[in-house]
Structure formats: structure tokens, C-alpha cells
Amino acid sequence: MGQITFSDVVAKTESMKGAPADFGRRSLIKAGLAASILTLWQAEPSWALEDRMSNDKKHGALPSILTMADVHAVSRALAHYTEGPLLNGLWKRPELSSRDRSVVTVAALIARIQSIEMPYHFALALDNGVKPAELSEIITHLAFYAGWANAMSAVAIAKDIFHQRSIGIDQLPPAKEKLLPLNEEAEKQRAAQVSNNFEAVSPGLVQNTTDLLFRDLWLRPALAPRDRSLVTVSALIANGQTGQITYHLGRAMDNGLTQEQASEVLTQIAFYAGWPCAFSALPVVKDVFEKRQK
Amino acid sequence: MGQITFSDVVAKTESMKGAPADFGRRSLIKAGLAASILTLWQAEPSWALEDRMSNDKKHGALPSILTMADVHAVSRALAHYTEGPLLNGLWKRPELSSRDRSVVTVAALIARIQSIEMPYHFALALDNGVKPAELSEIITHLAFYAGWANAMSAVAIAKDIFHQRSIGIDQLPPAKEKLLPLNEEAEKQRAAQVSNNFEAVSPGLVQNTTDLLFRDLWLRPALAPRDRSLVTVSALIANGQTGQITYHLGRAMDNGLTQEQASEVLTQIAFYAGWPCAFSALPVVKDVFEKRQK
Amino acid sequence: MGQITFSDVVAKTESMKGAPADFGRRSLIKAGLAASILTLWQAEPSWALEDRMSNDKKHGALPSILTMADVHAVSRALAHYTEGPLLNGLWKRPELSSRDRSVVTVAALIARIQSIEMPYHFALALDNGVKPAELSEIITHLAFYAGWANAMSAVAIAKDIFHQRSIGIDQLPPAKEKLLPLNEEAEKQRAAQVSNNFEAVSPGLVQNTTDLLFRDLWLRPALAPRDRSLVTVSALIANGQTGQITYHLGRAMDNGLTQEQASEVLTQIAFYAGWPCAFSALPVVKDVFEKRQK
């Protein structure tokens, strides 16, 4: 293939808007440029957001596509709130570890397809001690709890971060592995309740819930049940799915999430999913806390 | 215009970050490159996702921007769940045709702006027997039922798929055409109920609902009322808008959607909008089913 | 740096898919191309959407990434509804000013990360009399009321529009400025109520709500309290957060939003967030209206 200059691409593009042209050559250009765009879009230059990170520990993060200078150019107030109350305030509160804050934040971003902050927070999560295998499982878990395309949007970002950090599949969980032991009694109860209520309404959904979720996904060992619950509860709050919080927050606390931690999850999520999501969850969380104290 | 090489673009870009530069030439570069990016972003290389599709029939799909290898590199478990339980499990269940599953899935993706899976599923929908005219109407319908920008996000993908498959506007519905006959009695009842409740609250909304939706959009013949209902119900479930499900699921069943199909819509949507959306809809759907059986 | 032609980029890209290659040079290309992509993606060519705007006043808008021709190529019906009932109908209704319609629309788009229409509507908002300082504050306000990444997605668009229109930070609010006077009595009541209900559930959230929102953000003078309320209510309706509407709609009307305007907000939002969001809000809005008339 001969030398194709940028002006050729411009010309090509112009001609593409008219009658169909030389498809073979165009496809070649397309394949190449599309691939580079896709790769480059997320594999961001090192200057991006570096000032935002400057008061954090050094890391090899793939930053977001915004620089702190960009934020400054649009809203000095937002830059101020980001550097102060958010990064130097919220993230340093002792009620929840940085690692758990990253789990909550990553879950919220994936649950709402907030792609623009994924590169920054996926990288920060790894820096904060979330293992690559755990990030991988969080994404898989959210395919079921937030939607398949949500997980795929996360894959599009994570693949570049994994590549940049030389994280190979040897560091990631296998497709299938020995499952954690099932709490048969609790699962029997759960299944019976769902089945009694909804078997006749949607047998396919009820069956998949048992087979794929509670007897498979939840038992995968690469993410501890407590963390899986943390991801689930965070996604529910971030998406305003208050009707599902009661069961999963109870399960989370059964799995080891303390009340203080659950309380701080709300503080964290308010920033990343917005205050209204946190406030809509408050009465439900209150109710769960009160019922467990009896 | 002289030859502009890639290094010029890099240089230009660097200079753009500083003081304002030569705007005329920059604009030209911008116009050309932006156009190529916009075109190429969605017009993906043929290697993408082809293995994902390998166990499906051959098709000329514009695939998504992810390959199965990308998914594998981030989560072998997610790759396994995609190939097994999703593509070879869910999509092959007999309770709902592949064509209807595509309608449900496309509606869910547009309702949630899950752009990353739109290229794959728009193409699959056409392969599964959704006519171009129907896909066009689904997008238009969701402008009203999910938001104008949701429809525009779908247009951005669909235009390239239509272009690639040489689907011209001769295959698409005209802007205005002879409407289906109106069920005057049912519409009178609906309008009266809404008007009694909400005329004083928002007369503009009530008026537009009658004029634009029920005496226009719903009567466009390019999408059967049963399919229009299927799109609407899918979007409502996918967006967690449980308060609107009762009316529209009843209407869907009046329009010919069977209870078995409605039940399976929940099974399908669980994967694409996440389990919590499906479970939040379950009690409402149950109620509709039970009331119709009396 | 020597001349790098497009064919080099294609070749590079191909090699990037295999074994790791020359990272130094690749990074340079990446940095340059990524920067140009990021800049150009939003800085759209002038032909885009210009026909859509043709019946509006001349403006220097950065249009969306879709042209009206694109819409036409996918759905002539959608093009018709856009030009007629939406742009020449809804936007010209006298019940709400164009400026307020822009505030509502921009808030809805940011609240739902409907990026594809942001360039068009941010530019239109400025043309309709929303000041740059106000747009800046709207984005900041929605960091708290819709999520940090929602605001960042808006920053990514606004920075280019501000750059193109030569809007410097001298036209934008400072990070900190003299706050508006606080209505101590009303705030005391609000704080007491929230504290009584939820202090024990999430002390961090309750504290931040007082310190960051009601004693800081809401008192920033660059956006009038009435407009801040309009943004908040619009975001709540657009995201289906009906549980939070009662308080904020009451506050909006205390801040000067008339009932006729609030009513028309629903008419406007139906198009941009979809009918179901507007209809889910209707009973709550009705209740607020009725209680205030007593």
C-alpha cells in the first residue's frame, strides 16, 4: 500500500458522502483508522488529569479524557469542589477504606455507563488495591446486575488499562472454576420465595435467577461475597432501584458489610450518582438498619 | 489544498492547546478529520466481534466496537456467559421468536443509550427479520418514549448500517402516510381519564399526548400496534418506569402480545437491562396478568 | 520528529494488535492523535445540523454530530417531528421563554448523559440568553444533583464551545465568591428534618448535604436560586426521581417559579426525557400544586 496522507483521508471522506466509491481501499483505511481511534480514544496521553492526581500517590493510571485544565476552563467552582471536598475530603474519610470507595465508585460508574470517568477510576481502583481479578469479576457481575452493554462499556476501557499495565489473563479468573460452597438453607428459602411469587409470571427469569446467579455467579471465588454484595448494593443505589435494596443490603450485611460501611457507601455514592439517588435510598437503608437491630 | 501529513495534525493539535492559531486551515482539518472519525467510529472493521457471531448465521453486520478477544482479555467468565447462556441459551428459547427478541433488545439499548451494543444488535435485528422500515419506526417511536437524544444516538448508528446495506429511503416510511384507523371508543376513554386527572396540571403535555402520540405516532402503519407496544413495554421495563407498565402492558396484550411472550420479555430484558429492572417489573406484570384473567 | 504519514499510523495500528512494539514513538502518535480526536470529536464541522437550525436565528453554534440529512436517512418521520412539532411547535409555545426551555433541556441532557445533543443545545442555550457563567454553574450544580461524571461529560462538550466562542474564565464565576444571604429559618427547618430522619443512617451524607449543598452550592450567586431550582427539578423529572420532586418543586416555587412555568417544564421534558418520565412526575406535581393552593 502506497503512502496515504492526511489530505487523502480528507478527500476520501468527502467522497464518501456522495456516491459509493472505491470500497476496497476505503475499507482498508477504515479498518486502520477505526482501530487506531478505538485504541487511542481510551489510551490517553500522560498529561491528562495528572494535576488532578498530583496529590495522590504516583501511579501509572490511564487517566480520563479530561484534564483538570479542561475542568478549570469550564468551571473553576467544579475544579475546586473536585480537588477539595471530593478528592481531599470524601476519599480520605476513615469510615470506608480507599479500596472499598473504589469498589463503590467503579460499580456506580458501570451501572450508569459514565464512561468518561471509567479510565481514571479503573486505574485508581487498581492503585487502591482492587486486584485485576476482582475488577474483572466486578465487570462480569454487573453484566447481570446492570445490563450486558454496561459490562461491555467497561470492557472497552479495562482492556486498554490491562494492556498498558501488562495484566495478562494469567492474572484473571478462568471462565469456570471451583465454586464457593453454597448456603443451601438460605438459597432454598430465597428460591422458594421468588418461585412462590413469580414462577407463574416469568418461569424463564426465575429459572435463570437460580441457575445463573445464585448457584453460579455469586459463588465464583474471585470476588468475595461481601464485595459482590457491595458492588450490587452500589449499583442498585446508583440506578435508583430502591425496590431491590432491602434484600441485597440485608444480604450484604450477612456477608460482612458493617452498618458503618453501608452508611458511608451512601456518602460516597451521593457524589458519583448524585444526591437524589442517595436520598431516595436513605429511607430504605434506614428501614434495613432498624429491622436488623431488633 | 496541499499535502497535510499526520505530523502536521499533531503539530496543529499541540498549537491548539496554546493561543488561538490559524483558524481557517484548522477548521478545514477539523471538518475533514471529524467527518472521517464520525463515519469510521461506527463503521467498524470486519474482524470485530466476528467470532462472537460465528455460531450465528452469516450476515453483513456492522459489528460493535468490541471483539470477543477484547472481552476475553478482560473477563473469560463474561466471554463464557456471552457465548453460552446468552447467545446459545437465551436467544434460542422458543417462548419468543428471534425477531421479537431483537425488537425487545433494540428497544432496551435505545432506551438506555447503550451505544456500544447498538451496531451489533441493529444489524442482528435486520438479520432476524426486523424490516428496515420497522427499525426506522422503532427509533422514531422511542424519541417519544425514551427521549429525543436517545433516538438521535440510534440514528448515529443506524445511518451507517443502512448505508452499508444500501438501504435507501425508498425502503423507509414516508414522513406522513395514511394512518391506521383509530379505535375511537378506547381513545376517548384514555383521553378522558388523562384529562380528568392532569389537564389542570399540564395542559400542554396532555394536548401533545393526544395529538402527537395517540392520534398520530401510534397510528403510523410502518410498525404494527402490537410491535409498537412491545417496544414501549420493553423501554419502560429497561428504564425502571414501573408506574407506566400497567397501562402499556394491558394495551400490548390488547394489541396481541400473548402472556407467554410478555413473560419471556422479562427473561430477555434481565440480560440487557440488568436483573434489578426485571425484578422491579415482576410484581406489576403479575398484577396485570392476574387482573386480565378475571 | 520526522514526517509521519497516515500509512504509518495504519501500519502502527496493525502492529499494535500483535506483540508490543516501539512504545516511545507510538506514545507520541497516540498523544497527538488522541488529542486531535478529542478536540475534533466535539468541535464539529459547520455543515452539521445547519439545516435543522435554518429556521432559527443565525448563531455560531457548535452543532451536534448529526446532520438533519442523517436523521432523514434513517427516519423521515423523525425528521418531520423534529422540524415541526419540536422545533417549530414546542420551542415556540409562550408558556415558557426560550431561555428557560434551554435551561430545562440542558439540565435534562446532562442528567441523562445524552451527549449527542449536548453540543447543539449548549450552543442554543447561549444563543437563547443563558450566560456562560450560568451554563458553567448549571454544570457544577449537576455534579451534585446528577453525578460527578455527568458534569464531566458536560465539561468535555462545553470546553470546546467556550473555546470556539472565545469565552475565557474572566466570563466565568470564580471558584469561591461572596455567597447569597442564607434564609436561616428555612435552612434550620430543612436541616432539622433531614437530621431527625437520617442522621443515624448516614451522618456523612447528612453533613455534606448541609455544608456543601445548602450552605455553599445553593448560595453561589452566579445562578439565581430560581434557576438553580429549575435545573434541579428538571434533572429529577428527567431521571424519574419522583421521590425528590415534592421538596424541590416546592422550593422552586418559593424561589419564584410560577405554576404555569412548572406545568410547561413537564411539556418540555416529555420530548427530551421521554413521555414516561413526564407522566411519572404528573401525580407528584399535581399534589404539590394542590397543596400550595390551600
DSSP string, chain A: -----HHHHHHHHHHHTSS---HHHHHHHHHHHHHHHHHHHHS--TTTTTTTTTTS--------S--HHHHHHH-HHHHHHIIIIIIIIGGG-TTS-HHHHHHHHHHHHHHTT-GGGHHHHHHHHHHTT--HHHHHHHHHHHHHHH-HHHHHHHHHHHHHHHHHTT--GGGS--SS-PPPPP-HHHHHHHHHHHHHHHTTT-HHHHHHIIIIIITTGGG-TTS-HHHHHHHHHHHHHHTT-GGGHHHHHHHHHHTT--HHHHHHHHHHHHHHH-HHHHHHHHHHHHHHHHHHH-
Q: Give the whole-angstrom CA distance, residue C223 versus residue C177.
A: 12
Are A72 and A166 contained in the same domain?
yes
The nearest alpha carbon in chain C to B205 belongs to C267
Residue B140 in contact with partner chain C when CB distance is under 8 A:
yes
The nearest alpha carbon in chain A to C211 belongs to A85
Residue A143 in contact with partner chain B when CB distance is under 8 A:
yes
Task: Give the sign of the dihedral formed by CA B95, CA B101, CA B104, CA B109.
Answer: positive
pLDDT above 70: residue C31: no
pLDDT at A15: 34
In residues, how long is chain C?
A: 294
- Please report whether residue B178 resides in a domain: no
DSSP state of C218: G
pLDDT at A37: 30
Are C230 and C131 contained in the same domain?
no
Chains near A with 3+ CB pairs less than 8 A apart are B, C
pLDDT above 50: residue C35: no
pLDDT at C3: 36
Q: Tell me which chain A residues have a C-beta less than 8 angstroms from the C-beta of B77.
A: 136-137, 140, 173-176, 220
- Please report whether residue A53 resides in a domain: no
In residues, how long is chain A?
A: 294
Q: What is the mean pLDDT of residues C260-279?
A: 98
The number of beta carbons lying within 10 Å of the beta carbon of residue C124 is: 23
Specify whether the CB–CB gap between A12 and A29 falls below 8 A: yes
pLDDT above 90: residue C100: yes
pLDDT at B115: 94
Q: Give the whole-angstrom CA distance, residue B245 versus residue C280.
A: 11
Cβ pair A6:B6 closer than 8 A: yes
Comparing C241 with B293, the larger pLDDT belongs to C241
- Please report whether residue B271 resides in a domain: no
Cβ pair A137:B75 closer than 8 A: yes
pLDDT above 50: residue B124: yes
C203 band by pLDDT with thresholds 50, 70 and 90? very high
Which of residues A131, A152, A170 is at a domain's end? A170
Q: Tell me which chain A residues have a C-beta less than 8 angstroms from the C-beta of B65.
A: 38, 156
**DSSP states along B221-266:** TTS-HHHHHHHHHHHHHHTT-GGGHHHHHHHHHHTT--HHHHHHHH
CA angle C283, C288, C289 (to 5 degrees): 95
pLDDT at B294: 78
Cβ pair A264:C13 closer than 8 A: no
Distance from CA of A231 to the nearest CA of B (A): 13
Range of the domain at C30: 6-42
Q: Give the whole-angstrom CA distance, residue B230 versus residue B222.
A: 14
Q: Give the whole-angstrom CA distance, residue C107 versus residue C235.
A: 6
Cβ pair B150:C274 closer than 8 A: yes
CA angle A72, A78, A82 (to 5 degrees): 100
Cβ pair B6:C33 closer than 8 A: yes
Which of residues C171, C205, C232 is at a domain's end? C171
* Biggest CA-to-CA distance, chain C: 77
Cβ pair A35:B45 closer than 8 A: yes
Distance from CA of B207 to the nearest CA of A (A): 30
pLDDT at A66: 85
Distance from CA of C150 to the nearest CA of B (A): 14
Structure confidence by residue, pLDDT tens digits, B16-73: 333 333 333 333 223 223 322 322 233 332 223 333 333 333 333 334 468 999 999 9
- Chain A residues 35-64 with a CB less than 8 Å from chain C: 35-37, 39-41, 43-47, 64
Specify whether the CB–CB gap between B122 and B106 falls below 8 A: yes
Are A148 and A227 contained in the same domain?
no
CB nearest to A280's CB, from C9, C12, C243: C243
pLDDT above 50: residue A29: no
Are C160 and C94 contained in the same domain?
yes
Residue A49's alpha-carbon distances to A45, A64, A68, A155, C105, in angstroms, are 9, 7, 5, 21, 29
pLDDT above 60: residue A73: yes
- Mutating which of B93, B163, B275 best tests the A interface, going by the most A Cβ atoms within 10 A? B275
Specify whether the CB–CB gap between B119 and B63 falls below 8 A: yes
Specify whether the CB–CB gap between A173 and A133 falls below 8 A: yes
Residue A25 in contact with partner chain C when CB distance is under 8 A:
no
Structure confidence by residue, pLDDT tens digits, A129-178: 999 999 999 999 999 999 999 999 999 999 999 999 999 999 999 999 99
Are C96 and C56 contained in the same domain?
yes
Backbone conformation region of residue B127, classed left if phi is above 0, alpha if psi is from -120 to 50, else beta: alpha
Residue B23 in contact with partner chain A when CB distance is under 8 A:
no
Please measure the distance between the N-terminal and C-terminal CA atoms of chain A and give it in whole angstroms. 75
CB nearest to A76's CB, from C12, C175, C240: C175
Residue B5 in contact with partner chain A when CB distance is under 8 A:
yes
Cβ pair B148:C283 closer than 8 A: no
* Biggest CA-to-CA distance, chain B: 77
Cβ pair A77:C5 closer than 8 A: no
Structure confidence by residue, pLDDT tens digits, B179-207: 999 999 999 999 999 999 999 999 999 99
- Please report whether residue B228 resides in a domain: no
Cβ pair B77:A137 closer than 8 A: yes
Are C102 and C15 contained in the same domain?
no
Q: What is the mean pLDDT of residues B233-258?
A: 98
pLDDT at C289: 98
Q: Tell me which chain A residues have a C-beta less than 8 angstroms from the C-beta of C138.
A: none
| CATH for B84 | 1.20.1290.10
pLDDT at C14: 32
Are A153 and A111 contained in the same domain?
yes
pLDDT above 60: residue C234: yes
- Please report whether residue C19 resides in a domain: yes
Q: Tell me which chain A residues have a C-beta less than 8 angstroms from the C-beta of C203.
A: 263
- Chain C residues 210-249 with a CB less than 8 Å from chain A: 212-213, 220, 235-236, 239-241, 243-244
- Please report whether residue A182 resides in a domain: no
Distance from CA of C188 to the nearest CA of B (A): 31
Lowest mean pLDDT segment, chosen from A46-50, A105-109, A134-138, B132-136? A46-50
pLDDT at C66: 85
Q: What is the mean pLDDT of residues C154-172?
A: 96
**Residue B59: alpha-carbon gap to chain centroid:** 20
Are C22 and C94 contained in the same domain?
no
Structure confidence by residue, pLDDT tens digits, C53-89: 333 333 333 344 789 999 999 999 999 999 999 999 9
**DSSP states along B161-182:** HHHHTT--GGGS--SS-PPPPP
Are A166 and A91 contained in the same domain?
yes
- Chain B residues 64-103 with a CB less than 8 Å from chain A: 64-66, 70-82, 85-86, 90, 93, 95
In residues, how long is chain B?
A: 294
- Please report whether residue B64 resides in a domain: yes
Give the number of domains in chain C: 4
The number of beta carbons lying within 10 Å of the beta carbon of residue A187 is: 15
- Please report whether residue C82 resides in a domain: yes
Q: Give the whole-angstrom CA distance, residue B273 versus residue C98.
A: 35
pLDDT above 80: residue A122: yes
Q: Which three cell numbers stand for residue B66?
A: 468490541
